[in-house]
Chains A and B, each alone.
Chain A
Amino acid sequence: MTARCHDEQLPNRPLLTKAMRALVAVKRVIDYAIKIRVKPDRTGVIKENVQHSMNPFDEIALEEAVRLKEKQIVKEVIAVSLGPSKSQETLRTALAKGADRAIHVEVEEATAEKIEPLFVAKVLRRIAEAEKPDLIFLGKQAIDDDCGQTAQLLAGLLNWPQAMYASVVEQESDKTFIVTREVDGGRESIRIKTPAVISADLRLNEPRYATLPNIMKAKNKPLEKKKPSDYGIEVAQQTCILEVEEPPARKSGGFVEDVPSLVTKLKELGVV
C-alpha cells in the first residue's frame, strides 16, 4: 500500500490494521482548591483529613485516552497509579471515567512520601514493557510536587518519542500521530511515531464527570494490585526533603480611593 493510498483512507476511519492500547498514569493529590498548610515541624504539608482527588492534568490525560477509545482508535485504556492504598479511589474514578482496567502499584504511606518522579518512571517503564501500550498519557505535572518530570523521564527510559504539553492529539496513520504542543513562545506541531509518551496540557480537553451508573459499573472493572518488587524495583531515593516552609507572606498594602491617588502612589514609588 502506498502512502498516498493510505492517506485517502484517512477520512473513513477507523480502518486500522491494529487497535491501539493506551496506558494512563494518574496520581492522587491534594485537591487543587484546597489551601494547603505546612506542618509545624516543617517536614511536609498536612495531608490528613484533607480532600484529595485526581491530579487535574491526569484527568485531562485520561480523558484524551478515553476519547481516542470512543473514536475507536484505541481499543483498551489501562489506568495506573502508584501510591498508598487510597490511590485505589483515584483508579476507581479513572475506571468510572472510561478506563477499562487498572493497575495499582502499592507502596506504604510513609514510603509514598519519598517517591520521586524517577522511581515512578521506572515502574511505568516495566508496566509498559509488560502491557505494550502504543501510547502512554501522563499529566504535564502533578500539582503537589510541581516537578513536571515523569513523562520526560519515562520517554527517556523507554527511548520513545515524547510529545509534552500536548494541546491537540490527532491520529495520522496506523503508526503516527500529530501533536500540537504548548511551548513558550506559542505552539509547535510535531509528528510522533508510536509507541510514544504524551503529556497533557490544560488546553487538551475538558474532562468529563463520572456519572453515577458509571461509578457503579467501575466497581466491577478489574483492578490489579502490584508492588514495586513485582517489577523488580526497590524504592530508592536520590532527593531528600530537608525542610518545607511557608512562602514569605506578602502584606496587603491597603486600598487607594481612586485612580488619581493610584497614579500618585505609583509615581511616588517611581514605577511609572
Chain B
Amino acid sequence: MSGIRLFLGHRLPKRHDILQTAFRFTSTLVLAEHTGDKLSPITLNAVNAASGLGEISVLVAGTDIMNIAEKVAKVEQVKRVFIADHEKLRHQLPEHVAKTVETLQKQYKFHYVVAGASTFGRDVIPRVAAQFDCAPVTDIIAIHSSNTFTRPTYAGNAICKVKSDAPIKFLTFRGTAFKPAKESGGDGKVEKAPEIDFSFDGVEFLSQELLKSELPDLQNAKVIVSGGRGVGSADNFKIIYELAGKLKAAVGASRAAVDAGYVSNELQVGQTGKVVAPELYIAIGISGAIQHTAGMKDSKIIVAINKDPDAPIFEIADIGLAADLHKAVPELINAL
C-alpha cells in the first residue's frame, strides 16, 4: 500500500477501507517482465501498485524460468506464481503471452490483469483486453479506488482522472509513479499455468539487438545526464558520457539528439521515449520542448545547462546555468 503515490494532493480518503475491503474479494494477475535470467524491476513497481487491488498472482511466461518464478514468489504481497514454460514463449512475443494470459483469465477470472507500462506491458495488456471486450486503462500514475485511476494525457500536460466500468480491469502502471515492492517477505505458491493453445503461427522471433552499457539502466537510475541537440555531434556526446561516468548516472537524450544521430533512440526521454523520475536530472543542451519534459518533469531535482537563458527548460529547472556546455561540462567534470 505504501507504494501508492499521492498525486497532486489527491488524498486517498479511507483508502484502507476501500482497498482492504475489496482485497478479500478481488484477485489480480500481474504479468512479470523478465529477460530470461533477470526479473525486470518494473514488475516490482507493478506488484506494489496492484497490492491495493486484491490478492496478487503473478504470471511468469518464458522458458527455463523456475529461478525467476522463485524470486517472484518471495516478493511481498505475492500469493501465487503461475509458470508458463513453453518453447513458444522463449522470446515472450505478445501474441503468445497474450494467449497465455487469456487462458489463465478464462480459468481464474481475475478482476484485474495488470503490468508495468513498458514495451512488454503495452504490447500484451490491450491485446488480451480485446478478447474480453474490455477497454484497458494505460500508463496509470495514481490509484484512487478500485475503479478510479489517474493517467497523464497530452504529453503530461493534462492529468486525467478516469473511472473504468470495464468488467475486467486491464491496466498498465507507469513504473516511476509507484515504489517497487520489496523483494522479500512474500511466500507465494508456485504452480503451473494451465495447458495453452500455441497454434498461432503468424509471428516468429528473429533477432534482438540490445544496447549494452556499463552505466545504470535509464529507467532505474538515481541520476541521469541527458544531452540534446546543443551537444552538437555524436563525438561531443563523449562529454555527456564522461559526466555520467563521474556521477554513476545513466545517459539520456532528447529526441533532437536521437534524430540527429548523436545517440541511439533507446536513450530517448520524453512523451514517446522513456519516462524517468530520478533524484537528479541534468539536461545539457536541451531546449525543453513539452515532448521532452513530459518524460522527466517528475524528477526530484532538475539541473539545466544551456547557453540560451530563454530556453523553456529553465522554467522547470531547479538550478539553471546559462553557459556554453562545451566549456561548462568539462569544468563540471573536473570539479566533481
In contact, A191 and B204 (Cβ under 8 angstroms): yes
Contact code string A133-175 (vs B, CB < 8 Å = 1, else 0): 0000000110111111110111111011111110000000000
Question: B161 CB to closest chain A CB, in angstroms?
Answer: 4
Partner-B contacts on A (CB < 8 A) = 30, 32, 35-36, 38, 44-45, 57, 116-119, 121, 140-141, 143-150, 152-157, 159-165, 178, 182-193, 196, 201-203, 237-248, 250, 252-256, 258-260, 262-263, 265-266, 269, 271-272
Bound-complex Cα distance A117 to B153 (A): 14
B244, CB-defined interface residue at 8 Å: no
Bound-complex Cα distance A137 to B200 (A): 21
Question: B273 CB to closest chain A CB, in angstroms?
Answer: 9
Q: Interface SS of chain A: helix, strand, loop or mixed?
A: mixed
Which of B119, B139, B301 contacts A146, CB < 8 Å? B139
In contact, B129 and A188 (Cβ under 8 angstroms): no
Question: B240 CB to closest chain A CB, in angstroms?
Answer: 16
Contacts of B203 in A (CB 8 A): 161-163, 190-193
In contact, B209 and A186 (Cβ under 8 angstroms): yes
Contacts of A143 in B (CB 8 A): 154-155, 271
In contact, B138 and A247 (Cβ under 8 angstroms): no
Which of B125, B201, B266 contacts A184, CB < 8 Å? B266
Bound-complex Cα distance A179 to B115 (A): 24
Question: B33 CB to closest chain A CB, in angstroms?
Answer: 9
Question: B43 CB to closest chain A CB, in angstroms?
Answer: 13
Bound-complex Cα distance A250 to B120 (A): 31
Contact code string B141-179 (vs A, CB < 8 Å = 1, else 0): 000000010011111111111111110000000000000
Given A45-B154, A148-B138: A263 in contact with B320 (beta carbons within 8 A)? no
In contact, A189 and B157 (Cβ under 8 angstroms): no
In contact, B153 and A149 (Cβ under 8 angstroms): no
Contacts of B155 in A (CB 8 A): 143, 146
B190, CB-defined interface residue at 8 Å: no
B130, CB-defined interface residue at 8 Å: yes
23 A-B pairs with CB atoms under 8 Å apart are A36-B154, A118-B133, A146-B139, A146-B154, A160-B202, A182-B265, A182-B266, A183-B119, A184-B120, A184-B219, A186-B208, A186-B209, A188-B207, A239-B135, A244-B158, A250-B302, A250-B316, A256-B320, A258-B321, A259-B328, A259-B332, A263-B335, A272-B336
Closest chain B residue to A150 by CB distance?
B126
Contact code string B186-201 (vs A, CB < 8 Å = 1, else 0): 0000000000000011
> Can you name 18 extra interface pairs (CB under 8 A) apart from A191-B203, A260-B335?
A116-B135, A146-B153, A148-B138, A149-B129, A153-B136, A154-B130, A156-B128, A156-B129, A184-B119, A184-B219, A184-B274, A241-B162, A242-B148, A245-B8, A245-B161, A252-B314, A256-B320, A259-B328
Given A118-B134, A184-B266, A272-B247: A152 in contact with B205 (beta carbons within 8 A)? no
Stretch of B52-60, B65-73, B92-100 lying at the A interface: B92-100
Given A161-B202, A182-B265: A156 in contact with B130 (beta carbons within 8 A)? yes
B1, CB-defined interface residue at 8 Å: no
B279, CB-defined interface residue at 8 Å: yes
Bound-complex Cα distance A139 to B59 (A): 29
Which of B154, B165, B271 contacts A239, CB < 8 Å? B165
In contact, A189 and B94 (Cβ under 8 angstroms): no
Bound-complex Cα distance A153 to B129 (A): 7
In contact, B323 and A153 (Cβ under 8 angstroms): no
Contacts of A266 in B (CB 8 A): 280, 303, 319
Which of B120, B130, B202, B223 contacts A118, CB < 8 Å? B130
Q: In this complex, which of A203, A242, A254 has the most chain B Cβ atoms within 10 angstroms of its Cβ?
A: A242
B297, CB-defined interface residue at 8 Å: yes
In contact, B138 and A241 (Cβ under 8 angstroms): no
Contact code string B239-283 (vs A, CB < 8 Å = 1, else 0): 000000001000000010000000011100001101000011000
B87, CB-defined interface residue at 8 Å: no
Given A164-B122, A185-B210: A140 in contact with B164 (beta carbons within 8 A)? no
B322, CB-defined interface residue at 8 Å: yes
**Which 8 residue pairs spanning A and B have beta carbons closest together?**
A156-B130, A161-B202, A152-B126, A253-B318, A238-B135, A156-B127, A186-B210, A161-B203
Bound-complex Cα distance A171 to B265 (A): 24
Which of A45, A145, A187 contacts B208, CB < 8 Å? A187
Which of B165, B223, B309 contacts A240, CB < 8 Å? B165
Question: A31 CB to closest chain B CB, in angstroms?
Answer: 11
Question: A18 CB to closest chain B CB, in angstroms?
Answer: 17
Bound-complex Cα distance A30 to B210 (A): 35
